[in-house]
Structure 1
Amino acid sequence: MTEQAHPAVEAVRRGYDALSHRYRADDAEAGQYGPWVAELVSRTRPGGDVLDLGCGCGVPVARALVDAGLSVTGVDVSDVQIERARRLVPGAGFVRADATALEREEASLDAIVCLYTLIHLPLDAQPSLISRMARWLRPGGWLLATTGWQEWTGSDDAWLGGTARMWWSQADAATYHRWIGEAGLRVTAQEFVPEGDSGHALFWARKP
């Protein structure tokens, strides 16, 4: 995070710093993530390199990937989330960074997990991040991502019943499908994940 960080990114950082424990407990179960992680593990070579972008406190995704024998790096914008992740998942490496400015070596990853992360980023920064993620993947590598289902930008000044503000910005599923394809990845599956009155899109995409 730098002083030039987008105000929305700063709002997201502050929100998760304030409500990290309310958002997810140390002993949170896999829940909806369980089948997704199991499928990703089955598609990734033993010991493969995985980036968990927007890793939160490392539970349940990074922990499950490490338990499956994968080499995991988690990235999150929140200091509190990263501090917890380092404690809860000592078998992974964690970096506190702004995803909109993140750089990785090209063709260095076997898989990228990006769950409920893109929707917290400025909309105009999302296509370029998707393109960078595609470059980071090795041929045959997988992207597992959740995105918006419907176009929406907004905030909540009392997120999770607390006093912290949270912010979101998302395109619709068709736009994300197009952005992923334009980045050079082949979408192999798209699903609707319900949440409240709406939901999210879940994408599986592979680098040729």
Structure 2
Amino acid sequence: MHPSASQIVGLYERHAEAWDRERGKALFEQSWIDRFRALVRPGGALLDIGCGSGEPIARYLIEQGHTVTGVDASPSMIEACRARFPDHAWLVADMRSLALDRRFDGLIAWDSFFHLSHDDQRGMFPVFAAHAAEGAALMFTSGPAHGEAIGSFEGEALYHASLAPDAYVALLSENGFDVVAHVVEDQTCGGHTVWLAKARGMTRKEKAAG
């Protein structure tokens, strides 16, 4: 594992203002966000994992009538979210140890989950499951194949990693999700590799046992 894998939180905290400025406010992801929303009940509660400064994705979700809870390990990013959207919940938290003791109608980890190491990514699927209501939508971005990629931001190494597609399919299935859509390096969405899944509903037997 590249040493930059352990430095992601510090990098984003040091350069939060630059990231917010350079991220821009254009929602090039809207087609995927709308596919995600189509799986969520109108006004459903959403969990934005690695929410950054809340723009443009959380802003769009809020404008569409959703209640958003955002989590990010950068205090500066969360401070920006609280200033922009004070009526929603914004928490400083490491996604790897997230335990909110509530479930959401939709979970999104756009351009955040893929900064985790391979082992930490595997460990996120039980976290997703623990926060997903019955039938919840889950969307995240990954790389196209198993490996690591080291980018650069503000002159510092920026870590990314991905599991193989079949590993994601298996982890989703093991944790109660079915794949709805998956596109590798979608050229209509800036070359992002996107996963959209849906939590399975419980059987009558499981509901009775619960």
Q: Output the TM-score relative to the length of structure 2.
A: 0.82
**Structure 1 partner of 2:86:** 90
Number of aligned residue pairs: give it: 196
Residues 142 and 161 in structure 2, CA contact (< 8 A), matched pair in contact too: no
The 2-side partners of 1:54 and 1:114 are apart by 6
**Structure 2 partner of 1:151:** 146
Q: Could you tell me which of 1, 25, 35 is aligned with 2:31?
A: 35
Instruction: Note the residue ranges of structure 1 that are not aligned, 5 or more in a row.
Output: 1-6
CA deviation digits over 1:53-95, x for unaligned, max 9?
0101000111111111111100111122111121222232111
**Structure 2 partner of 1:193:** 185
Instruction: Note the residue ranges of structure 2 that are not aligned, 5 or more in a row.
Output: 201-210
**Structure 1 partner of 2:9:** 13
Give how far 1:121 is off.
1.3
The 1-side partners of 2:192 and 2:170 are apart by 16
Q: Output the TM-score relative to the length of structure 1.
A: 0.83
Paired letter, 2:16: S
1:66-77 paired onto structure 2 within 5 Å = 66-77=62-73
Residues 184 and 193 in structure 2, CA contact (< 8 A), matched pair in contact too: yes
Identical-residue share of aligned pairs (%):
26
**Structure 1 partner of 2:208:** none
**Structure 2 partner of 1:139:** 134
- Report SS of the residue matched to 1:165: strand
The 2-side partners of 1:77 and 1:10 are apart by 13
Paired letter, 2:139: L
Moved more, 62-71 or 79-88: 79-88
Give RMSD over aligned pairs.
2.4
Moved more, 198-207 or 83-92: 198-207
The answer as to 2:120 corresponding to 1:125 is yes
Q: CA 1:9–1:83 in structure 2 vs 1: closer, same or farther (change >3 Å)?
A: farther
The 2-side partners of 1:42 and 1:178 are apart by 24
- Report SS of the residue matched to 1:25: helix
